[in-house]
Amino acid sequence: MDAYSQAVSSAAERVGPAVVRVETAGAPTPQKRGKQRPGGPDRRADQEQPSGQGSGVIFDSAGRVLTNEHVARGGRSLKVILPDGRTLPAAVEGADPRVDLAVLRVPDAGHTLPVAELNSAVLRVGQLVVAVGNPFGLNWTVTAGVVSALGRKLPVSPGVELTDLIQTDVPINPGNSGGPLVDSQGRVVGIATAIMPYARGLGFAVPVSTVLGALARFREARSHDGHRLGVSGMTYLLDERIAREHKLAQASGVLLLEVVPGSPAARASLRVQDIIVSIDGATVDAATEISERLTKASAEGIDVTFLRGSRLGRTKVML
């Protein structure tokens, strides 16, 4: 191959294994964002869709995935699909609509996940960049172009303006949202976020410098979030047959994506992939309800009811 083809091919091969498809279930329609259209799936206004999809990139072996906030927004459940065919449930670990970034967390896969490298080095106009994503559901599609301009601003909704964006002529289409923009070494330099409708060669990406700032804010928020149970999880739709078998009236529970070693949950023998359905006899059908239940917990601990596969279990958790 010629040098240009070799550079594009090598970049795609390096980042490709870490690029995932992000799917949402039961997601309400995103609101129209000013005159711009995000690179996610197009939907009719005010109409709940059974599913939506975008792209993302794994950036650490603990199972964290970068994507756009508008890709993850509002889904009742999330999952990521890897190029090797693995499908993993995911939860939003942090999100910031002001920069259109979200971090998803998937269950620890034994540190076997492929990881992309983030590169915050200064970009140059005219520099080769490559995008990998899932435009229109066409999985792991590679497109290439150049950095057209830097420091762009883009109003996306009333009162919200994305700033310091990378402008590129790399084709970005619905479904590319949240996917990586990489340099010739396959290092992530930006996260695809938006396109100008009816225009060609006008795509935008959030630079890695902005990504690193968002990651720092998410870490600070987690360090003060007061989770005393020692778990992270996501709202998860229950299997109807299993719910009927155990006479559970609710449609969802909280799927555990992480159980911190040595935490109260771990000492009570809760495991990753358990689904919490009630605490102290009160139904838990959304992840946000766990914190609410903990505020009412007594000094004697809490009684947690959970599903493990098709079996219903109960355990006492001392906080």
The tens digit of pLDDT for each residue in 21-78 reads 999 876 444 433 334 444 443 333 333 344 678 999 999 887 889 999 989 886 667 8
What is residue 110's predicted lDDT score, i.e. its pLDDT?
58
Q: Residue 276: pLDDT band by 50, 70, 90 thresholds?
A: very high
CATH number for the 231-317 domain, one of 3.10.129.10, 2.30.42.10, 3.90.1170.50, 2.40.50.320? 2.30.42.10
In this structure, the strands spanning 64-67 and 101-105 are antiparallel
Domain with CATH 2.40.10.120 in the chain: 1-225
What does the pLDDT look like over 82-91, one tens digit per residue?
Answer: 998 889 888 8
Angle at 287 between CA 297 and CA 107, to 5 degrees: 115
DSSP state of 225: S
Question: Is the predicted pLDDT of residue 166 greater than 60, yes or no?
Answer: yes
What is the chain's mean pLDDT, rounded? 83
CA distances from 128 to 145, 151, 156, 164 (A): 6, 17, 26, 19
Indicate the pTM of the whole model.
Answer: 0.68
In this structure, the strands spanning 51-60 and 64-67 are antiparallel
Assign domain 1-225 to a CATH class. Answer: mainly beta
Active site residues: 70, 100, 177
What is residue 252's predicted lDDT score, i.e. its pLDDT?
86
Q: How many CB atoms lie within 10 A of CB 146?
A: 14
Domain with CATH 2.30.42.10 in the chain: 231-317
In this predicted model, which residue has the larger pLDDT, 210 or 295?
Answer: 210
